[in-house]
Chain A
Amino acid sequence: MSQVKVPVVRNILEANERLAKANRTIFDQAGIFAVNLMSSPGAGKTSLLEKTIDGLGDRYRIAVIEGDIQSSYDAERIQRKGVQAVQINTDGACHLDGGMVLEAIEALDLDGLDLLVIENVGNLVCPAEFNLGEHHKVMILSVAEGDDKPLKYPLMFQTSSVLLVNKIDLLPYVDCDLEKIRQRAGQLNPRQQIFEVSCRGGAGLDAWYAWLETEIARVRVNRG
C-alpha cells in the first residue's frame, strides 16, 4: 500500500465533447446545418422556429429537436407546421447534452435534411457549457428581459455566433436600450451577428433567414 499522486489534466466535460463530435460528424456527412438555439424561458425560441418554418419551409427540409424539462407541448407545436420534431424530456436537467441529442438524431429521418434546429432548455446559464455538435450556437434575448443580460450571463453571449434580439415591437413599453445590448454583447463577442426581430410581427426576420440560407449552403456542399 502506498500513497500516489497522479497528475491528470483532463477536461471534466470530455465525455460530452466526444459525443458532440460524433453528432457533428453525422451532421457534416449528411450535409445538415445544425443550430443550437438557446435563450431564457419565454424569449421566443419556439415562436422563432414557427416563423422560420413559415419563411424557409417551402425551400428547405427542416427538422427540430425540442428540449424541455417536461411535456411534449413544443414538439406538437412544431409538428403542426408539418416538419419532423423529436421531443427530449430532460426530466429535470437544465440543459441538453451531446448524448441526449445523439439519441434524438437516431429518431429522425436525416435523408435530404437541410437544417436541424436543436431547441435547448430555456436557461441562460447551463446550456452554454455543453456542446451538442452544432455548427453554431444561436441565442435569443427578448427586450422585456432587459439590456443588462450580457453583463449577467457572459458565457452565453460569449459562445453564441448569433444574437437575435426579439420582441422589438415591445420596445415602447419596456426600459430596454438596444444600443446598450449591442455594446455589451460586442464587448463579450465582437464577431457575434445581431439581428433585431419581432417574431410576432415578422420585423427583421428576413436578415435571419438570409444568414440561415448562407450557412445551409455552406454545409450542404459536403453532401455526397
Chain B
Amino acid sequence: MHEMAIAESLLGIVLDESGRHGITRVNRIQLQVGALAAVVPAALTFCFELISRDTIVADAVLAIEMVAVVVRCPECKERFEVDNQFYVCPRCGPIPAGLDLTSGRELTLLSIEGESGDEDESSESPCGEEYPRGQ
C-alpha cells in the first residue's frame, strides 16, 4: 500500500509541469507502471482522486499503462516476458543466475493533457505539441 506516497509525488510533478506549460486544467495523465513496482492501479487512482480534488487536476483521467516484467536470458540472450514471477527461459529452462531485467520497474509520468489558458505561451513551449480542440 505505497500508492498514497506515489500519488502524492505524482500530483506534485503534474502541478509543477502544468504551471511550467501554462496548463490551467488537466484532463488526462499518462503514466507507466512496471509490474515489479507492486502498484494496484485502482488504489493509485483512488488515492490520486482523493488528493487532487481541490486542484486543477481534479477529475483528470489517470491512464495507467502496466509494463510487464521482461528479462534477457544470460544463456541465449533472448528477451522474454516473465510469467507468474518464475524465472524460466522459454528456450533454456530455469535460469541459474545472472538474468538481466530490461523492464518492469517503471514508475514514469509520460504526458499531461489539458487546457492551456494562453495559446501564445503554450506554442512557445519547446516540448509541448498543440492540436485543435475537439480532436
Contacts and interface: CB of A to CB of B under 8 A. Distances in A.
Interface of A: 1-16, 93-95, 97, 125-126, 129-130, 151-152, 154-155, 158, 183, 186-188, 190
B9 A13 contact: yes
21 contacts: A1-B119, A2-B130, A3-B114, A4-B22, A4-B125, A7-B110, A7-B129, A8-B109, A8-B111, A9-B109, A13-B107, A15-B9, A15-B12, A16-B9, A95-B2, A130-B5, A151-B86, A152-B85, A155-B36, A155-B105, A187-B96
B95 A187 contact: yes
Interface string B1-33: 110111001101100010001110000000100
Contacts of A188: 87, 99
A14 B9 contact: yes
A126 to B, nearest CB: 4
A6 B23 contact: yes
B90 interface: no
A3 B9 contact: no
Nearest to A10: B109
Contact of A187 (B1, B9, B97): B97
Contact of B13 (A8, A183, A186): A8
A22 to B, nearest CB: 16
Contacts, number: 134
A4 B23 contact: yes
B97 to A, nearest CB: 4
Contact of B112 (A8, A125, A129, A154): A8
Contacts of B135: 3
A18 B53 CA distance: 27
A126 B36 CA distance: 11
Nearest to A5: B113
B134 to A, nearest CB: 8
Interface residues of B, number: 51
Contacts of A97: 5
A95 B3 CA distance: 11
Interface string B91-135: 000111111010001011111111111010010010111111101
B50 interface: no
A126 B4 CA distance: 11
B107 A129 contact: yes
A125 B22 CA distance: 37
B37 interface: yes
Given A4-B22, A186-B96, 4 more contacts: A6-B129, A12-B107, A95-B2, A188-B87
A11 B2 CA distance: 16
Nearest to B105: A155
A93 B127 contact: no
Contacts of B6: 12-13
B51 interface: no
Which of A6, A154, A158 counts the most chain B CB atoms within 10 A? A6
Given A97-B5, A190-B98, A1 B116 contact: yes
Contacts of B112: 5-6, 8
